[in-house]
Amino acid sequence: MAGRTGIASGAAAQRPSALLRRLRNRMLLVNMSVLTVVMLAAFVTVYVLMYTNIQSQNDRRLREILPLASGQRVIAQNTLGGADDAGPSVGAGLEGTGGPEGISPEVAGRPEVVVSRAVGLSPEHLLSFVLAISADGELVGVISQLDLEEQAYGEALEAMRATGKESGTITLADRIWQFSTAHMAVSEARLGGPGPAERLSVGTGLTQVAFLDVTDSADTLARLLVTFAAVAAAMLAALFFASRSVANRSIRPLEQSWEKQRQFVADASHELKTPLAVISANQAALVSDEDATSASQQRWISNIEAEVQHMSELVNKLLYLSRVEDEALPATVFDMSETAEGALTTLEALAFEKEVAFAGAVEPGCHVCADEPSIRHALLALLDNALAYTPAGGEVRLVLACERHQGRQHVVAKVENTPAHIPADEIPRLFDRFYRLDPAHADHHTQTVGFGLGLALAKAAAERSGGTLVAASADHTVTFTLSLPAAH
């Protein structure tokens, strides 16, 4: 049975830690989700803007390289038989050497393909070519600045037709090309020199398809994606560790609070266990002797009354500590000098009884704005604690004065008791609930008394009033310093 109890206690102790870990993980998940969404939104926005800008530039360049639409100056060059400079033409963009008059003849019902080289193009238009397609769907002309074989232009046309669209992208010769289509009437396609215009006799209309090499643009966007992915991975990793650290720091106060609560329950149970045991034993003694008189049983009744009083005092202190720590205390301006004098007067008889020198040096007229009952209780707790740990023949001294710290006036009360010493490693624990100094470290002429709540009450009252309470031990003297902002 004892083994089962130990296992159950261990499981109960681990349960809060598991809850806090789940809370931390949930905080981490929510934090990372929000940061990921924000980061992705920023990256997507930048990528879309970049993509839109590049696409807009490519569309503009495609519109500019359509010769029939923009009037580019071109020089004709027939791929089937040498080059023949037929002079510049404006608007048509198609000249050839297929006939004596420079017009591409039809051979067996199929027009001869004329390849013309464009001149006067800007550098951003050099990686492009234009296909001229007759109304019958035949390739009748090419305007290009590139050294490509005629077969490549035919492959470009077939790839464009395979998409079923008038604009889009294809892959040709391991390059990415963006194309756009323009439809024109044949009457607008003028050929020849300065003489009378002559018309193409290849159908009722002419279609031009402009191709622009956008491989570099595509590579830029691909590199941008890779960069974003790498940056996102690095940022997410950094954010994960940062968020985990923040989550751990956020959970730490909860863990400490939970541990203090667990310790508080354990200590309170321990403090209540002894009075309850005494009451139970005395009650058993009362009922064990049925023939006993009231006078003979008065001892048991007195013991029960004393333990009830002990428990009532403990519960009242716990309730007061809870109120001081959790509730907003009413603040009023009062003379702390008078409060200190009253505390000295209250405990003067106790100091005389313990044969401890009891003195005070109180500067008059020191006012603070706080809850006067809480501050009075804090001073009494400090003086009572000093008397409890000062041996006969020792001295307890209260010094109160107005001092300036960091440009602001403070009322500082110091309670000193000597001879006394507290190890440095125990000083931070002095203000914990139910903590009492280890008897091995206390003077042999003193005894540990009380519940260990007085200093916790004093510190809570000081902090709720905007002040501080610290302890120090040096040269066989223990000093508690209570500092509160002075009232204006």
For residue 196, what pLDDT band results from cuts at 50, 70 and 90? very low
- The predicted structure's pLDDT at residue 259: 77
Three-class SS state of 361: strand
Which among 488, 337, 339, 332 is positioned nearest to 408, based on CA atoms? 488
The answer to whether the CB of 336 falls within 8 A of the CB of 461 is no
- Assess whether pLDDT exceeds 80 at residue 422: yes
Say how far apart CA 441 and CA 430 lie, in whole Å: 13
**Confidence band, pLDDT 50/70/90 cuts, at residue 413:** very high
389 falls in which pLDDT band (50, 70, 90)? confident
Which is higher by pLDDT, 321 or 149?
149
Whole-number pLDDT of residue 125:
65
Q: Which of 169-183, 211-225, 276-290 has the lowest mean pLDDT?
A: 276-290
Averaged pLDDT, 319-324: 73
Instruction: Tell me the domain boundaries of the chain.
Output: 17-62+221-266, 68-213, 271-325, 329-485
Tell which residue, 109, 97, 164, has the closest CA to residue 134.
Answer: 109
| Predicted confidence band of residue 442 (pLDDT cuts 50, 70, 90) | low
pLDDT digits (tens, 9 = 90+) for 456-473: 888 988 988 889 999 999
Q: Is the pLDDT of residue 138 over 70?
A: yes
pLDDT of residue 46 exceeding 80, the answer is yes
Identify residue 255 by its one-letter amino acid code.
E
Q: Are 169 and 217 in contact (CB under 8 A)?
A: no
Question: Quick one: fold of 329-485?
Answer: Heat Shock Protein 90 (3.30.565)
pLDDT at 388 over 80: yes
* Amino acid 345: pLDDT: 92
Q: Stretch 303-324: mean pLDDT, rounded?
A: 78
Over pLDDT 70: what percentage of the chain? 75
Question: Per-residue pLDDT averaged across 271-276, rounded?
Answer: 76
CA distances from 66 to 42, 95, 115 (A): 37, 15, 15
Which phi and psi (to 5°) does residue 458 adopt?
-65, -45
- The verdict on pTM exceeding 0.75 is no
In this predicted structure, the answer to whether residue 36 has a pLDDT above a threshold of 70 is yes
Pairing of strands 408-418, 367-370: unpaired
Three-state DSSP state, 282: helix
- Model confidence at 112: pLDDT above 60: no
Residue that the structure tokens 């519960």 belong to: 315
Nearest CA to 484 among 389, 403, 390?
Answer: 403
Tokens of 389: 């740990």
